[in-house]
Structure 1
Amino acid sequence: MTPSAPLPTGLDEAAHGCLVAGFTGTTTVPDPLKRLIDRGLGGVILFTRNVRDAEQVRVLTDTLRALRPDLIVAIDNEGGGIGHLVSADAPDVPGSYALGVADDSELTARCADALAGHLATLGITASYAPVADLQHHPRNPIVRTRAFGAEPALAARHLRAWIAATERRGVASCAKHFPGHGGTETDSHHGMAVDPRPYDELRADFEPFRAAVDAGVPMIMSAHVVFPALDPERPATLSRRILGDLLRHELDFDGVLVSDALEMKAIADRYGEAAGARIALAAGADQVVVAVPDLEVTLACRDAVLGALRDGVLAEERVWEAAGRVRRLAGRYAAPAAAVAGWDTGAGLAAARRAVRLSGVPAAVRGAHLVDLFPSPHPALNWGGEDLLTALRAVDPAATGTAVTGEPEDPDALAGRLVRETGEAPLAVATCDAALHPWQARLRDALLSRRPDAVRIDTGLPEGGALCSYGRGRVNMRALAEALTGV
């Protein structure tokens, strides 16, 4: 085949099947995306930008499938504060860490069932969840309460429950981010993450993925993380050693291996999205995700893959293999269920209540002045920025307070003002991962120096507070408010 020759129709379609594209729009499909779908695009990924309400989402997914019935329509749907379907009436469930703290596999299954049932009503049949990473590095900035916990056995049993419940709804689940993102100090959205641990220490992180494979998970997502003990040259997404030797052969996974988004800086800054697509497929990925709505980026990735096929840099056999797995996935999951049964609407709050931990809190703190400190929402994860004060006032209308979402110019002056506003009322100070955001610790300590009787609350991982919710989803906030007020 000469470099300028067009690819055979079947191979061109197979190569397009290895792509998952993001796009802009809530009611119409952009023309470039239509052309990609016509040539065999394997899937699309929806974000908040594609969501207005539930009825609109279902019309959009029906429109997409009218263009190609075997198109996989996917979304990130982890629960807790991570999700894009709030305006589409998404069920409220806590994040995975709270489910691990509650440690009731049946309750986890009920929460996963609610999420999957809701997706099915919207015509979304693939969920890039659950997180199978273990959260064990105290300064990890990206996994944290998205994980079920730090223990492999605990994560494994909740992964099995989640995957089985999602499967019963006819929705594809996806364990991520292989072989684990929980041992890094860098968020791969922002730069190359490295896990320097030796192989013997890494083995524990493989076990939740092994459990997911044994549970029949149909998809696994790779991590943009370098593991020197596994492959000192390339991140997992681009590593044949990790995707092939470890995942395919040692863990015996034969489902669809999908990359994390290629525009993340761990890939884009060092390799570029287009080269990342080509290398990932050559290394063993079956689909590569380009989540940004700029379809020119997707087209550049597509062109790099087609060019590599023409040049012989990317083996045709590798693309046929990947496309075959994608076709099998689509055959099982592309079409949404004709009818969707209801789900347990109370499971999420029940789990969040079970997860709250208390230490030394009075029986009821009423009429408190709450200072809620938390970072700005992560732009990729689209956490909604739920605040604790709203939940607290729902159960205690006498409560007052303020939310602080960024570093103040003068923490000491702000602390003085907030204490004056509190007056004689009880003071509660909530932080979210203050160890990662030192401004929170400075403001919290300035408040406590003035009011040592203040109740400390942790809304992320525990940091010495009297209460901890293990997450900032809406039901986490509600459960915290109930625990504080004794409701």
Structure 2
Amino acid sequence: MGLDPGLRRLALGTLLAAYPGPVPPDWAVDLLADGLAGHTLFGTNVHDRAQVAASTAALRAGRPDVLIAIDEEGGDVTRLAHATGSPYPGNAALGAIGDVALTRRVYQSIGAELAALGITVNLAPTVDVNTADDNPVIGTRSFGADPVRVAAHSAAAVTGLQAAGVAACAKHFPGHGATVTDSHHELPTVDAPLSLLRQRDLPPFAAVVAAGARAVMTAHIRVPALTGADPATFSRAVLVDLLRTDYGFTGAVITDALEMKGAAVAAGGVGPAAVRALAAGADLLCIGAKVDAQLVERVAAEIVDALGDGRLATARVEQAAGRAAELAAWTRAAVRSSATEDTELGYAAARRAVRVDGVLTGLDRPLVVQLHTESTIAEGRVPWGLGPHLDGVPEIRVIAAETDAARLRELAGDRPIVLVGRHLHRLPGGPELVAGLAAEHPVTVVEMGWPAQWRPAGVRAFVTTYGASHANGRAAAEVLGLAR
């Protein structure tokens, strides 16, 4: 026997699915007509602007009020510019500049581009306060380590996006910035009392709620004081008591991807995770990136089964689907500002973010060495570094732990070395390679990851870009005098 059509439609109304490739398959459009709330676009769905616009038009043909979401944070997390790198600096750079009006303008420019392509929800900004230097998944996605600064820029980002008519989704509640593990791979723990969270992690969320953010995304993190052994995504104490009652949020609560191990393993699969998230107070369930029609149907069937066996109350699922529908209605009715996309604004901002410790002299035709760094799942394999911006300057790419400093000095000869990396202080072999080079050779270091406290001894200069976007790379090359 098939699912009750009314209950299936209700369940589908709480789901954000995804599909493979640059063209929406028939099932992705057909499910929208059946009530699916919407789809999230990933890099695999993006070939060029015309193609993205055609895809969103095809999805809207399935249902005019479809939610079309994307992770377009600027900086290190970009889907639209995954082939080249973002023309905007990310949050860490904007926070370092400290110009709240600039942050609003950058996000309004990002929003204008999304709106022009038919995208209605940006799963941004990241408003986590990055208090852990070794945080493997937030880092440069954060406006900084100071809650007051992060709160101000978070509100500005939300205001900018929504002025362009694109719904903002602030993430990751109640704060992913103090973690030292990645919730894509495991369930991180933030062992802190609520009093500390209110001082350190929660001020940016209070700020975005006050700024009118249409959505907030949950974090797959365990906060024992609030969630016990479960992730926040499954915690009514977090999603209802804290977010809605204490902070007064009335918009849509969107889960982080339920395929992530921080949620799926804890629940025993994506379907059970969907049920637990709904029961806890989530409204719109992001299934993940690797989705097909069968997975969507399995998740919908699990929700319908839960309605039948008492794990879920019908009123709760109706409330969730209603909030998803309200979000969709806002995106259709939103009044867009006259501002348009301005990528030059991004490049100018990236230049303002660069910081230099030391002296940038004697860099005539250096050997540029880029140290390989694995990308996080959130970032994806997006090009980064100085390479695309260099004017006839040789560049090589190496793995730090497999590279001999003497060999690099031999390659450089009498030329200085510019060493480019991300998170060099925790890159295997990174600090040792820098030390081995700087002891006998003029070395300038360009740090394009999160700017930790580490500063290597003996280098001529230490350049911090606060990110590795295309804009950050160009800015660094310009500051070094190496740009085309």
Contact 2:447-2:463 at 8 Å conserved across structures: yes
Q: Which amino acid aligns with 2:394?
A: T
Quote how far apart the aligned CAs of 1:445 are. 2.7
The equivalent residue for 1:273 is 270
Runs of at least 5 residues in structure 2 that lack an aligned partner in the other structure = 456-460
Q: Which amino acid aligns with 2:468?
A: R
> In structure 2, do the counterparts of structure 1 residues 364 and 69 end up closer, same or farther at CA, with 3 Å as the change threshold?
farther
The equivalent residue for 2:309 is 311
Which segment drifts farther, 293-302 or 173-182? 293-302
The reply on whether 1:432 has 2:422 as its aligned counterpart is yes
Which segment drifts farther, 127-136 or 382-391? 382-391
Contact 2:3-2:301 at 8 Å conserved across structures: no
2:237 corresponds to which of 238, 241, 258: 241
Q: Equivalents in 1 of 2:362, 2:141: separation in Å?
A: 30
The equivalent residue for 1:411 is 403
Q: Which amino acid aligns with 1:164?
A: T
2:134 corresponds to which of 139, 142, 146: 139
1:458 corresponds to which of 419, 436, 447: 447
**How is 1:169-318 mapped onto 2 (pairs within 5 angstroms)?**
169-203=164-198, 204-271=200-267, 272-295=269-292, 296-318=294-316
Quote how far apart the aligned CAs of 1:76 are. 0.3
Quote how far apart the aligned CAs of 1:6 are. 4.8
The equivalent residue for 1:63 is 58
The equivalent residue for 1:126 is 121
Q: Equivalents in 1 of 2:193, 2:424: separation in Å?
A: 29
> In structure 2, do the counterparts of structure 1 residues 407 and 191 end up closer, same or farther at CA, with 3 Å as the change threshold?
farther
Which segment drifts farther, 252-261 or 78-87? 78-87
The reply on whether 1:20 has 2:16 as its aligned counterpart is yes
Quote how far apart the aligned CAs of 1:303 are. 1.4
Q: Which amino acid aligns with 1:457?
A: V
> In structure 2, do the counterparts of structure 1 residues 104 and 232 end up closer, same or farther at CA, with 3 Å as the change threshold?
same
Quote how far apart the aligned CAs of 1:202 are. 1.6
Q: Equivalents in 2 of 1:407, 1:376: separation in Å?
A: 12
Q: Which amino acid aligns with 1:376?
A: E
Q: Equivalents in 2 of 1:407, 1:90: separation in Å?
A: 23
The reply on whether 1:402 has 2:391 as its aligned counterpart is no
Q: Deviations over 1:133-177 (max 9, x none)?
A: 000112211110000001111111111111111111110011000
Q: Equivalents in 2 of 1:151, 1:285: separation in Å?
A: 28
SS at match of 2:439: helix
Contact 2:23-2:55 at 8 Å conserved across structures: yes
> In structure 2, do the counterparts of structure 1 residues 437 and 299 end up closer, same or farther at CA, with 3 Å as the change threshold?
farther
Q: Deviations over 1:345-389 (max 9, x none)?
A: 321112111111111123462311111214122234325131223
Percent of aligned positions that are identical: 38
Q: Which amino acid aligns with 1:438?
A: P
The equivalent residue for 1:347 is 345
Quote how far apart the aligned CAs of 1:8 are. 6.2
Quote how far apart the aligned CAs of 1:341 are. 5.1
Contact 2:10-2:321 at 8 Å conserved across structures: yes
> In structure 2, do the counterparts of structure 1 residues 299 and 450 end up closer, same or farther at CA, with 3 Å as the change threshold?
farther
Runs of at least 5 residues in structure 1 that lack an aligned partner in the other structure = none
Quote how far apart the aligned CAs of 1:456 are. 2.0
**How is 1:356-435 mapped onto 2 (pairs within 5 angstroms)?**
356-363=354-361, 365-391=363-389, 393=390, 396-397=391-392, 399-404=393-398, 406=399, 408=401, 410-412=402-404, 415-435=405-425
Contact 1:76-1:127 at 8 Å conserved across structures: yes
Contact 2:259-2:287 at 8 Å conserved across structures: yes
Q: Deviations over 1:380-410 (max 9, x none)?
A: 432513122332x1xx42x222123x455x4
Q: Which amino acid aligns with 1:436?
A: R
Q: Deviations over 1:34-89 (max 9, x none)?
A: 34222210110001111111111101100000011111001000001211112799
Q: Equivalents in 2 of 1:17, 1:134: separation in Å?
A: 32
RMSD: 2.2
The equivalent residue for 1:85 is 80
Quote how far apart the aligned CAs of 1:17 are. 1.0
> In structure 2, do the counterparts of structure 1 residues 364 and 107 end up closer, same or farther at CA, with 3 Å as the change threshold?
farther
The equivalent residue for 2:458 is none
The equivalent residue for 2:160 is 165
Q: Equivalents in 2 of 1:132, 1:178: separation in Å?
A: 9
Q: Which amino acid aligns with 1:276?
A: A
Contact 1:29-1:64 at 8 Å conserved across structures: no
Q: Deviations over 1:397-454 (max 9, x none)?
A: 2x222123x455x432xx2222111111111112211233223223323322342x21
Contact 2:84-2:470 at 8 Å conserved across structures: no
> In structure 2, do the counterparts of structure 1 residues 28 and 185 end up closer, same or farther at CA, with 3 Å as the change threshold?
closer
> In structure 2, do the counterparts of structure 1 residues 363 and 419 end up closer, same or farther at CA, with 3 Å as the change threshold?
closer
Q: Which amino acid aligns with 2:215?
A: M
Q: Deviations over 1:249-282 (max 9, x none)?
A: 0011010000000111111223211111000000
Q: Which amino acid aligns with 1:285?
A: A
> In structure 2, do the counterparts of structure 1 residues 133 and 320 end up closer, same or farther at CA, with 3 Å as the change threshold?
same
SS at match of 2:350: helix
Contact 1:125-1:335 at 8 Å conserved across structures: no
The count of aligned residue pairs is: 473
Q: Which amino acid aligns with 2:275?
A: R
TM-score, scaled relative to structure 2: 0.93
SS at match of 1:429: strand
Which segment drifts farther, 337-346 or 221-230? 337-346
Which segment drifts farther, 84-93 or 370-379? 84-93
The equivalent residue for 1:39 is 34
